[in-house]
Structure 1
Amino acid sequence: MQILNIAAYKFVALAQLPALQTALREALQARGIKGTVLLAEEGINLFLAAGEGEIHDFLAWLRKDARFEDLQIKESWSHAQPFRKLLVKVKPEIIRMNHSAIRPASGRAPAVDAATLKRWLGSGHDDTGRPVVTLDTRNAFEADVGTFRNAIDWRINKFTEFPQALLDHRDELRGKTVVSFCTGGIRCEKAAILMQEAGLTNVYQLDGGILNYFEESGHAHFEGECFVFDERRALDPALQPRVNVGAPPGA
């Protein structure tokens, strides 16, 4: 497999977005990299693929910007280019929630690493003895491809439905340690902050999401594969692509 796929995001205050958009597009085009970059005042979110040398060269260029020097990357490999084109877009949010009070760059919810979550799920409780539940913050069709065993799934169709779902189900989470999770960390990070705002006190986000969990803890307590929004469709716990998963609704 010769195509390196990377996913990354960072909540960081960004200004002069059109200029940054142009610079990123030119840097990516010059290296023949395809995929999607989303920019907003709250940060950056990217999914890109190309040869290893081109990707690493681009990351070296990007990290010269102090705002992105600590950008954490998740890597996987594929035989073919999973993106058809390059898109660099400016958006109101890098992951749309329609809840302007949620600003992760101003302070994150606590994160739990993959090894700790694996241990908690194995015992059924956290280190204080409190029951642990996992909360899938992704869309229903993503959860249908694979999710943590016994995860809470509110069957949302898009992330903008999460705030109302939380209001509808908040009392079910009281008295438990709640670990929100998603593909790479961006949705569960916003979700965890919203849950804290809603008065839930024992809330964590899964650091790095499912992809990081696969890399560090394999398939323990996870059933199925992880849906991804490119032509690979899903990755197994070894981060290998599966080709038998259907396209998402509306694709």
Structure 2
Amino acid sequence: MFTVAALYHFTRFPDPAALRQPLLDLCTAQGISGTLLLAGEGINGTIAGSRAGIDAVLAHLRALPGCADLVHKESQAAEQPFNRMKVRLKREIVTMGQPDVDPLQGTGTYVAPAAWNALITSPDVAVIDTRNDYEVAIGTFAGAIDPQTRSFGEFPAWWEANKDRFAGKRIAMFCTGGIRCEKSTNFLRGQGVEEVYHLQGGILKYLEDVPRDDSTWEGECFVFDGRVSVGHGLVEGPHILCHACRRPLLPADQDHPAFEDGVACHHCVGETTEVDKARFRERQKQIALARARGTRHIGSL
């Protein structure tokens, strides 16, 4: 069993590049896989490995400048959900493309999972899902508004086009682990929204803390690793991933005429060229050969 740790923390890193190699070396030495993003605004990512290895990396991260209070969320995976370890330098640890947005200058009011249901069922509250369309498609909170954005960077334009709908409303926002809401609630405050809230710890914390019988969550929660989705209690869900478009699929979707493993699904069959599909088929061939040798191909899920 592998321990999976999802984390983010906003802080000031004057030289994030100087932090990269020591962090990558430690993760490699501890047998940790996953992805960590470093930027001037902080750190974000998900990693998986042994209990001891995860503890060693978390201790290292909390020793970084301004990171003593870094909070992480844990779950379990039967198999290693990542192929390798990557530590990447980015302009933003979650891309919104709004240079004036700074969560360190204030965010919305945090709402604990135990208090979330009462907030979002209030008639004067509009609940907005800040995640991408393919994430929302497999699960969301009852009654939540889906902006139908394909990336987080589209959210500011969606808000500008729809903000008049929310006059006189309090705004409650949520995302997978909380990081997108750190930025989106700061953005709304900058737009003059006086009462804006977000789910502390995100959907993952809600699914961990709130019993199924008391839950207003419907469906599964998409996660950016080999598990694809999780449900209540953070138990691994039934979804698989289309290796061509990275969208989540149910096992029954493999029976769709458009499905070809690693090449296309009913979502993306018309989005790629025949040249693309030929390249995907070659990749699948190499994955199958690696599997036959008892190894894991770098391009496999």
Same fold (TM over 0.5): yes
In the other structure, the counterpart of 2:6 is 7
Matched, 1:199 2:192: yes
Matched to 2:96, the amino acid is M
- The aligned amino acid for 1:25 is L
* Structure 1 spans left out of the alignment, 5+ residues: none
* Distance change in 2, residues 1:155/1:99 (3 Å): same
| Secondary structure of 1:13's aligned partner | coil
Task: Specify the code of the residue in structure 2 equivalent to 1:93.
Answer: E
Which residue pairs with 2:292 in the alignment? Answer: none
Q: Which runs of 4+ in 1 moved over 6 A?
A: none
- More contact order relative to length (CA 8 Å, sep ≥ 6): 1
Are residues 1:135 and 2:128 paired?
yes
Structure 2 match to 1:106: 105
Q: What is the rounded CA distance, in whole Å, between the counterparts of 1:92 and 1:216 in structure 2?
A: 33
SS across alignment from 1:57: helix
For residues 105-126 of structure 1, the C-alpha deviation after alignment (integer angstroms, 9 at most, x for no partner) is 22222211111112224xx32x
- Structure 1 stretch 14-23 or stretch 143-152: which is displaced more? 14-23
Contact 1:136 1:147 in 2 (8 A): yes
SS in 1 for 2:66: helix
Deviation at 1:248, TM superposition (A): 7.8
**Aligned counterpart in structure 1 of residue 148 of structure 2, from 146, 152, 155:** 155
Q: 1:211 aligns with which of 197, 200, 204?
A: 204
Aligned to 2:183: 190
SS of alignment partner, residue 102 of structure 1: coil
> What TM-score, normalized to structure 1?
0.93
Give 1:185 deviation, angstroms: 0.3
Larger radius of gyration: 2
Greater CA drift, 63-72 or 33-42: 63-72
Q: Deviations over 1:227-251 (max 9, x none)?
A: 0011100000110112434348733
Number of residue pairs matched by the alignment: 244
Q: 1:8 offset after TM fit, Å? A: 0.6
C-alpha contact (below 8 Å) 1:233/1:247 kept by paired residues: no
Code of the residue aligned with 2:125 in structure 1: it is: V
Mean CA deviation greater in 189-198 or 225-234:
189-198
Please tell me whether the aligned partners of residues 223 and 229 of structure 2 are also in contact (alpha carbons under 8 angstroms).
yes
C-alpha change, 1:45 and 1:237, in structure 2 (3 Å) is: same
Structure-1 residue corresponding to 2:251: none
- 1:241 equivalent in structure 2: 236
2:86 match: secondary structure: strand
Distance in 2, matches of 1:248 and 1:192, equals: 33
Instruction: For 2:49 and 2:190, locate their aligned partners in 1 and report how far apart those are by CA, in whole Å.
Output: 40
2:84 maps to 1:82 = no
Q: 1:248 to 1:14 in 2, by over 3 A?
A: farther
- CA shift for structure 1 position 156: 0.3
Aligned-pair identity (%): 37
